[in-house]
Amino acid sequence: MASSACHPLTQGGFEKSSPSVMACKNPRLCRRVLVDPPKVRGQTDDDQVKGRDMTEQLRESMDYDVVIVGAGPAGLSAAIRLKQLNADLEVVVLEKGSEVGAHILSGAVLDPSGLDTLLLDWRSMGAPINVPVKHDKFYFLGPAGKVRIPNWPMPPLMSNHGNYIVSMGNVCRWMAEQAEGLGVEIFPGMAASEVVWGEDGRVAGVVAGEFGKNADGTPGPNYEPGMELRGKYVLLGEGARGSLSKQVIAKFGLDDDAEPAKFGLGMKEIWEVDPDKHREGTVTHTMGWPLGRNAGGWQLHLPS
């Protein structure tokens, strides 16, 4: 490992010094590490060593107490809670979207019990959570029309009274503001591309901001090695099919003796409707036509 001082800038975090270069702004945390060239499929270790002088790169590295991948509800909640428990912890959150919320385009029904525990005064903190569910409706659809299903036989989880209709993108943006107010560093536009493994085989961090590889995994002419963000703890909150999660699951056999994961295909749209048809606070669930008994849909009436 080669070590060197980083850019002598004054504040913590990153600065974009050009469209393709992330300059470290925290000399206290930075060092440079030597990056081996990516191994091409079919290439041996000896072949990789022979080509090292042509492709090796210096990659800056930063150390944190906790590195969190994904600025969704889980990642941001964890960051907030960690700083509540110990304000001196160095916590960083990486988000691949251009801004927090950019990849959370979901309207949702939110149970506020988690927020009641995490941020007790959220109702007075400007949270974009202000449309309580007023009506739950269930319909079975057919080619000729619809049949209303009464609410009483539905399981408790289908009762949304006390919950709120929200835009999760807006909720995540607000949560990011709360996290930054506690001292959490959030880096949007920084996709994590690979796991950094420690010498003892543990997850030691992630690589973020790497781009410019060819289709075969070799560095292209505009290759940027990105930066290593190392943590005493690494939390992967990148979703159900996150690329880093798949690496960790495969390495440690976390899915051994487990049923295969199941996924459903869904589509969401945001409609602007006639005000006379808008019923703010209404949640409607459907099943049946045109997709059959094993599919359904829903409508959430957001603020007008």
DSSP string over the chain: ---------SSSSEEEEETTEEEE--TTTEEEEEEPPPPPTT--HHHHHHTHHHH-EEEEEEEEEEEEE--SHHHHHHHHHHHHH-TT--EEEEESSSSTTTT---EEEE-THHHHHH-TTGGGTT-S---B--EEEEEEEETTEEEEEPSTTS-GGG--TT-EEEEHHHHHHHHHHHHHHTT-EEEET--EEEEEEPTTSSEEEEEES-EEE-TTSSEEEEEE--EEEEEEEEEE-S-TT-HHHHHHHHHHTTTTTSPPP-------------GGG--TTEEEEEEETTS-TT-EEEEE----
Report the pLDDT value the prediction gives residue 54, as an integer from 0 to 100. 37
Report the pLDDT value the prediction gives residue 157, as an integer from 0 to 100. 81
Report the pLDDT value the prediction gives residue 14, as an integer from 0 to 100. 41
- Cα angle vertex 17, ends 13, 20, to 5°? 100
Mind listing the pLDDT tens digit of every residue in the chain (304 residues)? 333 333 322 233 444 333 333 444 444 445 555 555 544 445 454 544 444 443 456 788 899 999 999 999 999 999 999 999 999 999 999 999 999 988 887 789 999 999 999 999 999 999 999 999 999 999 999 999 999 988 888 888 888 989 999 999 999 999 999 999 999 999 999 889 999 999 999 999 999 988 888 888 888 888 888 899 999 999 999 887 889 999 999 999 999 998 988 888 888 888 888 999 899 999 999 999 888 877 888 889 987 6
Cα distances from 131 to residues 146, 160, 165, 248, 304, in angstroms, run 27, 12, 5, 39, 10
Beta carbons of 277 and 161 less than 8 angstroms apart: no
Q: Where exactly does CATH 3.50.50.60 map onto the chain? A: 14-103+171-252
Report the pLDDT value the prediction gives residue 101, as an integer from 0 to 100. 87
Q: CB-side exposure of 252: number of CA atoms within 13 Å?
A: 11
The CATH code of domain 14-103+171-252 reads 3.50.50.60
pTM for this model (two decimals): 0.79
Report the pLDDT value the prediction gives residue 119, as an integer from 0 to 100. 96
For the record, the structure tokens of 105 come out as: 């385009």
Report the pLDDT value the prediction gives residue 213, as an integer from 0 to 100. 84
For the record, the structure tokens of 179 come out as: 């996290």
